[in-house]
Amino acid sequence: MKVKHRLDQLRKLMGEHQLENVFILNPDHQFYLTGFKALTYSRPIILNISLHQSSLVVPGLEEIHAKDVAEIDNIHVYYEHPIEKVSKKDHMEYIKEFLKGCSSGAKIGVDLNHTPGNIIDLIQQNGFTFTDVGGFIEQMRYVKEDEEIQLLQKAGELVNLAVEKSLESIKIGTTEMEIDAVGNSAIFKETAKNYPDATLDLFVMSPSGVKRSTMPHVFSNTRKIKSGDVIIHSRQVGLYGYRAELERTVIVGTPTSEQLKAFELAVEAQRRAIDFIKPGVKASDVDRIAREVFVKAGLDKYAVHRTGHGIGISAHEKPFLRFDNHELIIEEGMAFCIEPGIYIPNVGGFRHSDTVIVTSDGCKLITEYPYDVNDLLI
Determine the pLDDT at residue 82. 79
pLDDT of 345 strictly over 70: yes
Lowest-pLDDT choice from 64-78, 86-100, 137-151, 196-210: 86-100
The CATH number of domain 4-141, selected from 3.20.20.100, 3.40.50.720, 3.30.365.10, 3.40.350.10? 3.40.350.10
Note the pLDDT tens digit of each residue in 223-274.
999 999 999 999 999 999 999 999 999 999 999 999 999 999 999 999 999 9
14 residue type, one letter: M
**Stretch 115-142: mean pLDDT, rounded?**
97
261 residue type, one letter: K
306 residue type, one letter: R
pLDDT of 143 strictly over 80: yes
Between 38 and 85, the higher pLDDT residue: 38
Per-residue pLDDT band for 84 (boundaries 50, 70, 90) equals low
**Stretch 356-370: mean pLDDT, rounded?**
98
- Kindly list the domain boundaries of the chain, sorted by start residue: 4-141, 143-375
Per-residue pLDDT band for 86 (boundaries 50, 70, 90) equals low
Backbone angles phi, psi at 337, to 5 degrees: -100, 125
142 and 9 Cβ atoms separated by less than 8 Å: no
The CATH number of domain 143-375, selected from 3.90.230.10, 3.30.70.3270, 3.20.20.105, 3.40.50.10860? 3.90.230.10
Note the pLDDT tens digit of each residue in 302-315.
999 999 999 999 99
Determine the pLDDT at residue 83. 73
Burial status of residue 227 (CB atoms within 10 A of its CB: 0-12, 13-18, 19 or more): exposed
In the DSSP assignment, the letter for residue 300 is G
Cα distance between residue 324 and residue 36, in whole Å? 34
pLDDT of 80 strictly over 90: no
Q: In this structure, what is the dihedral angle of CA atoms 315, 151, 187, 216, given to the nearest 10 degrees? A: 20
In the DSSP assignment, the letter for residue 61 is G
Estimate to the nearest angstrom the gap between the alpha carbon of 283 and the chain centroid.
18
Determine the pLDDT at residue 85. 66
341 and 349 Cβ atoms separated by less than 8 Å: yes
pTM summary value: 0.96
